[in-house]
Each structure stands twice: as C-alpha cells, then as structure tokens.
Amino acid sequence: MIELPEAVVIARQITETVGGKRIAAAVANASSHKFAWYTGDPAEYNDRLAGKVIGRGTGVGGNIEFEAGDMVLSVSAPIRYHLQGEKRPKKHQLLLEFADGTAISSSAQMWGGFFCFRAGEKGGLPDYDLAKTRPSPLTPAFDRVYFDTLFDVETPKLSAKAFLATEQRIPGLGNGVLQDILWTARIHPRQKMGELSEQAIQAMFTAVKRVLAEMTAQGGRDTERDLFGRPGGYQTVLSKNTVGQPCPACGTSICKEPYLGGSIYYCAGCQRL
C-alpha cells in the first residue's frame, strides 16, 4: 500500500508526465497475486482502456487516482514510469503501454488495489466513500474542529497508533507516516488516547498537519520511491533507515518493535509512556 504523501506526489507526476498520452494497450493481473484487487474481470481492462487518453491524477487517501478518458484508475500500489524501449518489470499487476512507446506499471507489495471503473461509479473500491468524503489533512478543511469529530466513546481506550493509523479514520495516514507524526508530537505509539492531556492532543493534531505537509512538499519519504524510482526528499526521523541511530533531538537510540500489525519506531527519551 502507499500513504498520503506518496499518493499525492505520484499523482502529480502522473499528471505532468503521462497526462495527454493515449493508451495503446492495458494489461491487468499478468502476474497473479493473492492480495491484488480489481474492478470486475481484469481480462477486460484492455477493452475498457485501450485508446483512452490519460487526464489528471489526484491523491485520494492512500490511492493514486487518475482519469483515462471516461474511465478512472485508482491504484494503491507504487507506480513506475518506463521510457521507450526500456525493459518492463517481469511481474506486475497493471501495465499501461502508451502510443508513444512509454509505459507505466504497478506491482502490489503486501497487497494492492488496481481498480478501473467508469467516472462517477465506485468500482468496488473498499472505503472509497470514506476517502472521498473525509477532508485531506493537507487541506484547511482538516482543522481542529474536524479532528475533534474523529473522537468517540471508544477513543480513550485506543492507543495513539490505533487512533491515528487504523480504521481509515484519516485516509492515507498509515503505519509509515505515523512514526514521525508521533515523534514530532512527543507521544508514544502505545500511549492510550484517554491518558493524553489537551496539550498533547493539540500537539498530535498539529503534527498530523505539519508532518504530512512536509513529507508531501519534499516529494515523499526517503524510504519510498516516486514515479521515476527515486527516493523522496523527506528524511525520516523514525524508520528502517534510522533504527539504532541516535534521536536527533535527545540522542537516545531509536527502537523498533512489533505492535498492532506492523513495526513501530520510537525514541524512548522523547516519547515517554
């Protein structure tokens, strides 16, 4: 899956790089993948897409969504651009060959959605309405008043990680971007929401907005790759790249441990339980 900053960055690159290109051929499900999802029969993708011209791309939660004529493609896996004559990947779940000899392809990581549906329809996308109707943290509509509406009677029992990064409460905010958000807010991922002061909640809200905006402005995280296979310019504080290294704020060694289906990274000095 991909997360909000990379979805926005790759969607913008799609608009700039392949917008206006005509699809010569589309191949979906060339390599079978246990956790790849399509709209209807992937064998029909060529009929739906051949001859269509790529339009604008947008990042919607953790999905890269772009127009192809009267169709919409919504992809929740990284997308790569290929030049004329450049070798295409051996395995992929979606390949669009353009009339000018360039192409884009996408391969599922742990899982991935490769939906293709008529504009205005839902195409079988799980959580589509959620991602579409909830304001993006990158927009002014995601303000403190809106953030407070995400809290309910169950919230105090949830950990900070569970609150921010599960149930698609904030579409596109997953376990990857979560780490630096909580470090910035100085909140431990296991901390119960009910134990947080008003000051800490405000710090959490501010960090969600600020860190996601920084990651997006800098072309995504350095742990992820863009449309051209380049790592993003945002240097992660807490990630697989920095585990064991000293925290830039206090010098404590950065730890990694499994928690709630995925690794958490934190600084025990800055993020006290």
Q: Which residues, in sequence order, are bridge partners of residue 118?
A: 71
| Least Cβ distance, residue 5 to Zn ion (angstroms) | 23
> Cβ closer to Zn ion: 105 or 184?
184
Of 55-63, 73-81, 104-112, 250-258, the window that binds Zn ion (rule: CB under 5 A) is 250-258
Q: Decide whether 131 or 264 has the Cβ nearer to Zn ion.
A: 264
Task: Please pick, from the candidates 129, 249, 272, 273, the single residue that binds Zn ion as defined by CB under 5 A.
Answer: 249
Per rule CB under 5 A, is residue 270 in the interface with Zn ion? yes
Asked whether position 269 contacts Zn ion by CB under 5 A, the answer is yes
Q: Which residue has the tokens 């392949």?
A: 18
Binding piece for Zn ion, criterion CB under 5 A, among 67-75, 77-85, 243-251, 256-264 = 243-251
- For every residue of 128-145, DSSP letters joined together read HHHHHHSPPTTSTTS-HH
**Measured distance CA(180)–CA(10) in Å, rounded:** 21
Strand partners, 98: 23
Whether 22 and 56 have beta carbons less than 8 Å apart is answered as no
Decide if residue 23 touches Zn ion (CB under 5 A): no
Q: What is the DSSP letter of 127?
A: T
Q: Are 228 and 18 in contact (CB under 8 A)?
A: no
Q: Which of 105, 247, 264, 265 binds Zn ion (CB under 5 A)?
A: 247
- 60, 67 Cβ separation under 8 angstroms: no
- Token pair 């599922």 is found at 108
Q: Which distant-in-sequence residues (6+ apart) come within 8 Å of 240 by Cβ?
A: 223, 256, 263
Q: What's the longest Cα–Cα distance across the chain? A: 58
Query: How many residues bind to Zn ion according to rule CB under 5 A?
Result: 7
Nearest-approach distance from CB 178 to Zn ion, in angstroms: 17
In the complex, residue closest to Zn ion by CB:
247
Q: Please, which residues bridge with residue 263 across strands?
A: 258
- Binding status of residue 243 toward Zn ion by CB under 5 A: no
79 vs 204, beta carbon nearer Zn ion: 204
Using CB under 5 A as the binding rule, whether residue 267 contacts Zn ion is answered as: yes
Contact 87, 38 (CB under 8 A): no
Which is nearer to Zn ion, 185 or 270 (by Cβ)?
A: 270
Closer of 249 and 273 to Zn ion (Cβ): 249
Q: Residue 43 and residue 40: Cα distance in Å, rounded?
A: 9
Residue 187 binds Zn ion (CB under 5 A): no
Closest listed residue to residue 11, CA positions, set 47, 53, 45, 61: 61
Q: Does 99 bind Zn ion (CB under 5 A)?
A: no
Span 219-238, contacts to Zn ion by CB under 5 A: none
Residue with smaller CB distance to Zn ion, 99 or 249: 249
Structural contact between residues 186 and 270, judged by C-beta atoms closer than 8 angstroms: yes
Among the listed residues 119, 250, 253, 272, the single contact to Zn ion using CB under 5 A: 250
Give the interface segment with Zn ion, choosing from 108-116, 134-142, 152-160, 259-267 (CB under 5 A). 259-267
> Binding residues for Zn ion, per CB under 5 A?
247, 249-250, 252, 267, 269-270
